[in-house]
Structure 1
Amino acid sequence: MTTEQTSAVDGAAAVRAMVRPPIFPDRDFRLTDFGSGGRDHTDAFREAIEACHQAGGGRVVVPPGDYLTGPIRLLSGVNLHVSAGATVRFRREPEAYLPEVPTRWQGVELMGYSPFVYAHGARDIALTGAGTLDGQADDAHWWAWKPLEPADFAQLERLADDDVPASRRVFGEGYHLPPSFVQPYSCENVLIEGVTLTNSPFWQIHPVLCRNVTVTGVTARSHGHNNDGCNPESCDGVVITDCDFDTGDDCIAIKAGRNSDGRRLAVACRNIVISNCTFANGHGGVTIGSEMSGGVEHVYAAHLRMDSPNLWTCARFKTNSVRGGFIRDVHVTDVTVGRVGNQVLEIDFAYEEGDAGPFLPEVDGIHLSGWRVASTDAPWRLAGYPRGPIGTVTLTDIVIDSALSPAVAHEVTDLRLDRVTVNGRLLG
């Protein structure tokens, strides 16, 4: 193995040794034993979770059936287990997700609508089982807010730029910033396992400021606006394995806060392992950014399968001089690609605002190895700044059978090609 490949193996092993799923007492609380009956089970979820928490932890079991609810808030020691044959459907009325809670929206802190499954400051929590969680978002509910989001988000960004405390950035009734589906916030020891998520209002799995997170065996299948699959943000120690992503935006997007708010908090997202996942539709397979102002480092992705003409890019790194921040020590290895729409690798320093700020991003130590690609438009498109180029990018043992357009690399300090073949031609 090359030095970079050895570093990837060792780095992933160290993260796996650090990240361990929580363990829960052998104690079950059956959802249907709580609440007053009726069609809406919001009270039953709250009562069962509180009873489980107060007893010292265990499982809240959702048996087979169909359950309508408002927001679900997990407490320490609680494993919410959605059994095979169970479907949890979330109410469509925005007012059901009030009062506002501390959250992030595209990398900026605020008091906003409660995520559908939410925890704040909890330890040892889980969402498990072979059941389905249906956000019931569609073009008439939540997704219809898309045209109204930019103005509200611009107002939120102005408050952040003016250093207004997050507790006073209240964006509930009358605003149009939809909540994430599953969001542990400032939590430790988190497990999300086995469930299927569909029809999400916004990002699907969004751990924020968490430590020790495991996401495994999850199906994230939702095609609405901004329906990213799994977006760890400013977390330390995340393992994402054996998941199936088919999304309306990036499949996995690693983030670390946006612009002035991201720099104020200055919490990097680091020590991330991604393995044995499949990627279908989406803007990017493994993505970093664009909300990366706190920095991203030590990312190890391996044994991935990507295949869809509606997947734009396999490995996507997006930033600009308004975001700033850094991306470093990233390894994406052993990837099999059928068809990808635009390019295998993209590093874009001109995402959204372009070169419009004083915060030069640092992107360095990007390593791709062991890729086999059947078909793409372009092998790679790399675009840094003349005043702040991309650092080292290494491509090793890459075979691309068919590329319609040539590779593009502008303002890259050190692009290293080792056994890279495109259209049957050895490039280096």
Structure 2
Amino acid sequence: MKNKIYNSLFCFSAALVSALFVNCSAQKKSDILANPWKVKEQIEKEVVVPVFVNKTYNIVDYGAKSGGTYNNSEAFKKAIETCTKNGGGKVVVPAGKFLTGPIHLDNNVNLHLEDGAEILFSTKSSDYPLVKTTFEGTECMNHSPLVYAYNKKNIAVTGKGILNGQADNENWWYWCGSKGYGWSEGKGNQNDPQNRVRLIESGEQNVPVEERIYGEGSYLRPSFVEFFECTDALIKDIKIINAPFWVIHPMKSVNVTVDGVTVESHGPNNDGCDPEYSKNVIIKNCTFNTGDDCIAIKAGKDGDGRRVAMKSENIIVKNCKMLDGHGGVVMGSEMTGGIRNVFVENCEMDSPNLDRAIRIKSNSRRGGIVENVFVRNIEVGQVKEAVLRINMFYNVYGNQTGNFIPQVKNVVLENVKVKNGGKYGVLAKGYAELPIENVTLKNVTIEKVNEAYSIENVKNIQFVNTYINGKKVESPK
């Protein structure tokens, strides 16, 4: 009898806890839909910006020589090791040009470039050892990113100086296999079946990451700045140019601030900032002029993304300027783990070489969900294709069909003004079995667009006080 009473009480308590959990989750979900910008403010309060001990370690004191020809890898390494050993502080790069291999940050270190300082990164791939990293959404052991931190806390790259990856059609870029970026017959490239294709297959087969060995001869380009499994990271005021691949890549990191950074790099896959599997990321006061997406929020790809199964969430973009790029703020295409709670506000997007303002892309091989995307107070000068583009049939590298239908829901654009919208105001295509849901344009004005919208398998799209080419647009029934 005693056991029966205990079991009944236990079941009742478990049911009560479960009900409370469900109610709390539902409350949180309803909160963000009812007042998303209040939720954004709460997220901003949660983000921790690194603070450093007031000590400085000048790389010149550790043997660094300017001029751009002497390799200063050891000087950077010694200064960083000493700084973190003594409790942290600022590793200072003075005015001048300093050549180096990869720079690996450590706990409580702020790599600070003074005005006039430029770090030139070696173009010799053999200078970049194997580390745990990722390529296009699949984890692997590959060339170290140029600036790298793995499982570190309280780190930063700051200052008015320049990070120069020195990538061009002779170095790094031709690895993509495109003649437009310097590749020619006889040169290696990532598309060899033993390179990128083999990596994707290893993700599908769940090969341990430590056994996915690439590096020399594999032609998989490294990211420029990568914070991998880091907490409380900052990159501020730096100018970054000539990147081999993705430029700023927070990977599985929490509390990341990208503030006042300028990115100018027009190489292949030169996305400006790619938060992946990351939470509480603020990108503000930045300028992006890129060869690919200005900002691309990601969450892994295909089988490897389903293995990791982490969302990118609570991503804030504000007061930024987007120039050239495939998209201003993009979600995908590597979004298998899912993306939620994205806030974009007070940004300017304008270039004849900017294809879209807001873009979401996936396919049935990648799957994933994007939910709760809120955009407001955006000024768009010119885009080529569409103001809002949602493509669930994104196709690159051949056949991308599978059994994982992607989902998109709750996308709101508010107070958006567009002078030259290109081909479409809204271009959206979903699946009949899982339509795109709940898309709202409120107080949006779009001029010089060929077609107001082209939609397929979109459920509940609302145009509220929205004008395209001077005409008020009614919501389709």
Query: Which bin holds the TM-score, normalised by the shorter protein?
Result: over 0.9
Q: Distance in 1 between matches of 2:452 and 2:409?
A: 23
**Conservation of the 8 A alpha-carbon contact between 2:364 and 2:403:** yes
SS of the residue 1:159 aligns to: helix
Superposed counterparts of 1:267-282, under 5 Å: 267-282=310-325
**Conservation of the 8 A alpha-carbon contact between 1:11 and 1:298:** no
Alpha-carbon displacement from aligned partner over 1:1-44 (angstroms, at most 9, x marks no partner): xx988623112101101102110000100110003658111111
Alpha-carbon displacement from aligned partner over 1:146-175 (angstroms, at most 9, x marks no partner): 112233211101111111101000111111
Q: Which has the higher strand share?
A: 1
* Residue 59 (structure 1) aligns with: 90
SS of the residue 1:207 aligns to: strand
Q: Report the residue type matching 2:344 in the other structure.
A: A
* Residue 121 (structure 2) aligns with: 90
Alpha-carbon displacement from aligned partner over 1:315-368 (angstroms, at most 9, x marks no partner): 000011111111001101110011111110000011016772111111001111
**Conservation of the 8 A alpha-carbon contact between 1:81 and 1:128:** yes
Superposed counterparts of 1:291-370, under 5 Å: 291-352=334-395, 356-370=401-415
* Residue 420 (structure 2) aligns with: 375
**Conservation of the 8 A alpha-carbon contact between 1:4 and 1:367:** no
**Conservation of the 8 A alpha-carbon contact between 2:452 and 2:468:** no
Q: Against the structure 1 CA distance between its residues 249 and 355, is the aligned structure 2 distance closer, same or farther, given a 3 Å change threshold?
A: closer
* Residue 13 (structure 2) aligns with: none
Q: Which moved more, 1:230-239 or 1:345-354?
A: 345-354
Unpaired stretches in structure 1, ≥5 consecutive residues: none
Unpaired stretches in structure 2, ≥5 consecutive residues: 1-30, 178-188
Q: Against the structure 1 CA distance between its residues 394 and 111, is the aligned structure 2 distance closer, same or farther, given a 3 Å change threshold?
A: same
**CA positional deviation for 1:392:** 1.0
* Residue 175 (structure 2) aligns with: 145
* Residue 44 (structure 1) aligns with: 75
**Conservation of the 8 A alpha-carbon contact between 2:32 and 2:39:** no
* Residue 106 (structure 2) aligns with: 75
TM-score (norm: length of structure 2): 0.87
Q: Distance in 1 between matches of 2:345 and 2:117?
A: 32
**CA positional deviation for 1:219:** 0.2
Alpha-carbon displacement from aligned partner over 1:365-400 (angstroms, at most 9, x marks no partner): 111110000002211100001122111111101001
**Conservation of the 8 A alpha-carbon contact between 1:30 and 1:63:** yes
Pair 1:16 & 2:61 matched: no
Q: Report the residue type matching 1:356 in the other structure.
A: T
Pair 1:263 & 2:306 matched: yes
Q: Report the residue type matching 2:458 in the other structure.
A: V
Alpha-carbon displacement from aligned partner over 1:37-79 (angstroms, at most 9, x marks no partner): 5811111100000000000000001011110000000000000
TM-score (norm: length of structure 1): 0.97
Q: Report the residue type matching 2:442 in the other structure.
A: T
Q: Report the residue type matching 2:91 in the other structure.
A: V
Pair 1:212 & 2:255 matched: yes
* Residue 422 (structure 1) aligns with: 468
Q: Which moved more, 1:402-411 or 1:231-240?
A: 402-411
Q: Report the residue type matching 1:136 in the other structure.
A: Q
**CA positional deviation for 1:404:** 2.1
Alpha-carbon displacement from aligned partner over 1:164-222 (angstroms, at most 9, x marks no partner): 10100011111100100000100000000000000000000001000000000000110
Alpha-carbon displacement from aligned partner over 1:267-313 (angstroms, at most 9, x marks no partner): 10001111000000000000000000000001111000000010000
**Conservation of the 8 A alpha-carbon contact between 1:76 and 1:125:** yes
Q: 2:458 aligns with which of 386, 404, 412?
A: 412
Identity among equivalent pairs (%)? 40
* Residue 232 (structure 1) aligns with: 275
Q: Report the residue type matching 1:403 in the other structure.
A: V
Pair 1:25 & 2:53 matched: yes
Superposed counterparts of 1:161-240, under 5 Å: 161-240=204-283
Pair 1:105 & 2:135 matched: yes
**Conservation of the 8 A alpha-carbon contact between 1:130 and 1:194:** yes
Q: Distance in 1 between matches of 2:382 and 2:316?
A: 24
**CA positional deviation for 1:401:** 1.8
**Conservation of the 8 A alpha-carbon contact between 2:65 and 2:98:** no
How many residues are paired up? 425
Q: Which has the higher helix share?
A: 2
SS of the residue 2:247 aligns to: coil
Q: Against the structure 1 CA distance between its residues 396 and 406, is the aligned structure 2 distance closer, same or farther, given a 3 Å change threshold?
A: closer
Computing the radius of gyration from Cα coordinates, the structure with the larger value is: 2
Q: Distance in 2 between matches of 1:275 and 1:244?
A: 11
Q: Report the residue type matching 2:56 in the other structure.
A: D
Pair 1:287 & 2:330 matched: yes
